[in-house]
């Protein structure tokens, strides 16, 4: 699995991440071609090598050439991204980043994500930074992003709403459930754009995982750091977990809440909302609670970067007064999707391997259901045809 570790030892911003991707091997031409698809003008992208306290890095500066005072909403930015045809899942990732930003700004200002005026974050340079980083990850073939704890900085920064403390209120909201660390470097180290990119895209925050390092790159920020180089480092490589010859492993959170006053409709809606918010799995288990009352345990699996948001959602969707959380290790099969041809059409088969050997191969439910409805046949006919095609070709 191609993965990238973001070591934000001096903080992170959108332009720093973009520069780091170019430094680690992203084609500048490929990036410019992707950004050229954005229905957006009034900017120029300057790429150059610079030095920060003796460390060479790539500076990617988005220079605004036409002043605009538009305050875009989330829907406006979604339309821009939808019209860009960015590579791979870049458009989906970019919209997720802006969604996290909108949710954070909404909590700060007491409004809804749809009502938020993005101000600085909706400016042309931020749209280009976010779309560029997401397109860059897709072009590099990165399948997983991890990051270290983020330093936030100190002092004050001038924003559209006036002079604000560092970290900015939106950054504090974005970092809910995400580890941060102290740093004596003054100034705004982690910007809202940088925080949103990592919170939305990183599967885990913590030490560098076991990996085979293939390349490292450095992205320069705008200023010189007084005590440490103002750069972010990215490490590109492939996962090599302990026991990788047998499968894969990671760490996730188990979040649980006991409920004795929830209707079936409430539980069903909560489970669906948790999955849509990024929970890896959700389940409901019947239990007997105090005073002999029947109840249900609502439980789910969540990655580090999603834990805070998913906890918030459990409290909003249910009547619980507490959520238990337990960090657990998880062993996984190495996964691969293979397309097979059936009389009804193409079906993806999820193949799981351990120790290089196939342990299981299961046709994707959504593919089989769609083809069954299109051809007006039983779901099982399509499913069995896909399994037979896999066995015949595998």
DSSP 282-295: EEEEEEE-GGG-EE
Which tens digits make up the pLDDT trace of 118-155?
A: 655 558 888 999 999 999 999 999 999 999 999 988 87
Q: How confident is the model at residue 337, as a pLDDT?
A: 85
Q: How confident is the model at residue 393, as a pLDDT?
A: 73
Residue 145 sits at φ, ψ, to 5 deg, of -115, 135
Q: How confident is the model at residue 4, as a pLDDT?
A: 96
User: How far is residue 83 from each of residues 58, 78, 118, 255, 294, measured CA to CA in Å?
Assistant: 29, 9, 19, 37, 51
Q: How far apart are CA 110 and CA 210, in angstroms?
A: 42
Q: How confident is the model at residue 243, as a pLDDT?
A: 44
Hunting for tokens 């909302």 — which residue is that?
273
Q: How confident is the model at residue 377, as a pLDDT?
A: 95
Contact 13, 221 (CB under 8 A): yes
Q: How confident is the model at residue 159, as a pLDDT?
A: 65
Which tens digits make up the pLDDT trace of 285-314?
A: 999 998 888 999 999 999 887 888 899 999
Which segments in the chain show pLDDT lower than 50?
242-245
Q: How confident is the model at residue 275, as a pLDDT?
A: 92
Contact 174, 104 (CB under 8 A): yes
Q: How confident is the model at residue 105, as a pLDDT?
A: 85
Question: Domains in the chain, ordered, with CATH?
Answer: 2-239 (no CATH), 248-331 (3.30.70.1380), 334-393 (3.10.20.300)
Q: How confident is the model at residue 297, as a pLDDT?
A: 96
Q: How confident is the model at residue 211, as a pLDDT?
A: 85
Q: How confident is the model at residue 242, as a pLDDT?
A: 42
DSSP assignment of 124-174 equals HHHHHHHHHHHHHHHHHT--EEEEPPEE-EESEEEETTEEEESSPHHHHHH
Contacts of 73 (CB under 8 A, 6+ apart): 114, 115, 116, 117, 118, 122
From the DSSP assignment, how many helices (H) and strands (E) are in the chain?
11, 20
């Amino acid at each position: 699995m191609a993965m990238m570790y973001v070591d934000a030892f001096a903080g992170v911003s959108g332009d720093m991440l973009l520069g780091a991707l170019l430094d680690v091997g992203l084609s500048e031409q490929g990036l410019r071609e992707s950004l050229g698809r954005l229905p957006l003008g009034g900017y120029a992208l300057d790429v150059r090598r610079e030095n920060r306290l003796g460390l060479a890095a790539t500076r990617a500066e988005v220079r605004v050439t036409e002043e605009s005072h538009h305050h875009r909403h989330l829907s406006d930015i979604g339309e821009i991204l939808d019209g860009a045809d960015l590579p791979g899942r870049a458009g989906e990732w970019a919209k997720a980043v802006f969604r996290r930003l909108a949710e954070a700004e909404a909590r700060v200002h007491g409004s809804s994500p749809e009502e938020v005026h993005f101000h600085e974050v909706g400016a042309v340079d931020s749209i280009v930074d976010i779309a560029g980083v997401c397109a860059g990850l897709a072009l590099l073939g990165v399948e997983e992003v991890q990051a270290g704890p983020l330093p936030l900085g100190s002092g004050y920064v001038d924003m559209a709403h006036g002079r604000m403390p560092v970290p900015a209120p939106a950054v504090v909201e974005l970092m809910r459930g995400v580890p941060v660390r102290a740093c004596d470097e003054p100034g705004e180290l982690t910007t809202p754009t940088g925080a949103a990119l990592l919170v939305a895209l990183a599967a885990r925050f913590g030490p560098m995982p076991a990996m085979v390092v293939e390349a490292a790159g450095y992205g320069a920020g705008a200023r010189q750091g007084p005590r440490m180089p103002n750069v972010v480092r990215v490490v590109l490589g492939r996962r090599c977990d302990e026991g990788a010859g047998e499968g894969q492993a990671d760490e996730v959170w188990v979040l649980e809440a006991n409920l004795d006053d929830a209707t079936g409709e409430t539980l069903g809606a909560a489970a669906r909302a948790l999955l849509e918010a990024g929970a890896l799995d959700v389940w409901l288990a019947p239990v007997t609670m105090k005073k002999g009352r029947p109840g249900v345990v609502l439980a789910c699996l969540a990655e580090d970067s999603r834990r805070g948001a998913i906890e918030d959602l459990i409290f909003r969707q249910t009547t619980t007064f507490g959520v238990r959380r337990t960090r657990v290790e998880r062993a996984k099969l190495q996964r691969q999707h293979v397309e097979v041809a059936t009389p009804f059409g193409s079906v993806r088969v999820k193949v799981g391997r351990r120790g290089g050997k196939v342990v299981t191969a299961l046709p994707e439910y959504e593919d089989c259901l769609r083809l069954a409805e299109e051809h007006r046949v039983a779901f099982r006919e399509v499913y069995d045809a896909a399994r037979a095609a896999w066995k015949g070709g595998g």
